[in-house]
Amino acid sequence: MLNIALFGPPGAGKGTQSEYLIKKYNLFYISTGDLLRNEITLDTPIGKEVKSVIASGGLVSDEIIVQIIEKTITENTSFNGFLFDGFPRTYVQAYILEGLMLKLNTSLNCLISIDVPEEESVKRLLGRGKSSSRSDDNESVIRTRLHEYNQKTLPVLKFFKDRGNYKEVNGLLDIKGVKDQITEIVKEELSKSLLNVVLFGYPGSGRSAQGRSLAEKFGLEYLSAGEMLENEVEKKTDYGIQIKSLYDLGTLNPDQIGQLVPDEIVVQLIEEKISKSQDMKGFIFKGFPRTLVQSYILDGLLKKYTSSITKVIEIEVPTLELIRRLNMRGKTDSSRPYDSNYEKIIQRLQDHETRTVPVISKYMKLHNGVRIDGTGSFDQVNKKLAHEIEIVLKDMRKGFGVWGLGFGVWGSGFGVRGRH
């Protein structure tokens, strides 16, 4: 999701640049003035309240404004983000917008300010007044408007400068020059969005090898819950000792590592891994989530960092081919505990059917997942998987809505390159 606040003094060309951003990135335009007038026209409860306030000579309260903005955002989820024109107008409203974005599990990517010196603004507006015969474009009125803009805006700009997401462009350039500067800023913001891929498939489908290959190819962090747990046991860490104690008590069969380890352990390991991966462009999740409960855990964990699942891919391989592959692997040094005989192989496949297939069904519907034929050579399957990820990356660079409302830039200081 791409959320931008666009600022600029009268005469800066904000309207022209707004139209460009809206069309290019499929953003929903939010102007508080337009929203208030629309509520009045529709005669909504909020509109009636606004009309009453205006009729009595009062100012519309921040409470009303934030209600309208929240309503507008939640009703327009088909867009790829929002362009705020001249909002927030005050220091208090800046805090309000920040809180509202957090509530909606997203954030403001940046505030872009089109910088134009006062004399240039006066010159432009006087020229516009001559061509349009607008009575409010005389020098006295213009300077008053510019003074009011500067007085109100400076505290807001400082707020975002302190947050580190203030961007300024040179408004003295021609329209194309200003547009090019803004485009570069947006590209930079889009590059900060993380790509989170969940890779599903039955045991023997090749998820591990494909996941590692894709992670290396696209600069992602490969995250396998099973391998993480095995590493903990081998290193004899606190978590590893807990897992080993489950073996010793007979609560957990070593054949089932990564499947029946308590979720409390798994989620702590995954969160720790995510928090340490500050320079990654995203993650490939393999072997997690395995259950519906774990799917809620992953959704909540990503939501905590203002992120979400970007793409869901299942590698499909016929059952007989899975059995053949697992049986062959059982005769090599890469053998897993559940490859040792046909009985264990069948049990492993049945466990996947019972526990994980419902998760796949859920994610396929929620995230427009895709299924890839995994019966070809490694390179053939890898090419298909890479193609799906390239499509997502292309859409992300364009600012297309591949995530939905719950996805914003990576927050809380994790996985960020150059901001937050």
Asked if the model's pLDDT at residue 407 lies above 90, the reply is no
Give the C-alpha separation, 334 to 328, whole Å: 10
Confidence category of residue 419, pLDDT binned at 50, 70, 90: very low
Q: What is the mean pLDDT of residues 196-222?
A: 94
The CATH architecture to which 2-27+79-191 belongs is 3-Layer(aba) Sandwich (3.40)
**Positive or negative CA dihedral for 153, 157, 159, 160?**
positive
CATH homologous superfamily of 195-398? P-loop containing nucleotide triphosphate hydrolases (3.40.50.300)
DSSP labels for 14-67? HHHHHHHHHHHHTPEEE-HHHHHHHHHHHT-HHHHHHHHHHHTT-PPPHHHHHH
CB 403 within 8 A of CB 392: no
Report the chain's mean pLDDT, rounded to a whole number: 85
Asked if the model's pLDDT at residue 23 lies above 80, the reply is yes
Asked if the model's pLDDT at residue 134 lies above 70, the reply is no
Asked if the model's pLDDT at residue 230 lies above 90, the reply is no
Asked if the model's pLDDT at residue 254 lies above 70, the reply is no
Please tell me the predicted confidence (pLDDT) of residue 392.
Answer: 87
Give the C-alpha separation, 283 to 280, whole Å: 8
Confidence category of residue 393, pLDDT binned at 50, 70, 90: confident
- Domain ranges for the chain, please list them: 2-27+79-191, 195-398
Please tell me the predicted confidence (pLDDT) of residue 278.
Answer: 60
Most confident by average pLDDT, 52-56, 86-90, 313-317, 341-345: 313-317
Asked if the model's pLDDT at residue 257 lies above 60, the reply is no
Give the C-alpha separation, 172 to 179, whole Å: 12
Lowest mean pLDDT of 78-82, 196-200, 204-208, 400-404, name the range: 400-404
CB 7 within 8 A of CB 157: yes
Please tell me the predicted confidence (pLDDT) of residue 371.
Answer: 97
Please tell me the predicted confidence (pLDDT) of residue 191.
Answer: 66
Asked if the model's pLDDT at residue 329 lies above 90, the reply is no
Decide if 2-27+79-191 and 195-398 have a common fold: yes
Number of H helices, E strands in the chain: 17, 10
Most confident by average pLDDT, 42-46, 315-319, 334-338: 315-319
Give the C-alpha separation, 277 to 138, whole Å: 56
Lowest mean pLDDT of 304-308, 365-369, 387-391, 410-414, name the range: 410-414
Answering whether pTM is above 0.85, one says no
Strand, coil or helix: 114: strand
Asked if the model's pLDDT at residue 416 lies above 70, the reply is no
Confidence category of residue 413, pLDDT binned at 50, 70, 90: very low
Query: Which tens digit of pLDDT belongs to each residue from 95-127?
Result: 999 998 888 877 899 999 999 999 999 999 998
Neighbouring CB atoms inside 10 A of 213's CB total 19
Cβ neighbours for 114, distance < 8 A, ≥ 6 positions apart: 6, 7, 8, 9, 12, 13, 14, 17, 169, 171, 178
Asked if the model's pLDDT at residue 397 lies above 70, the reply is no
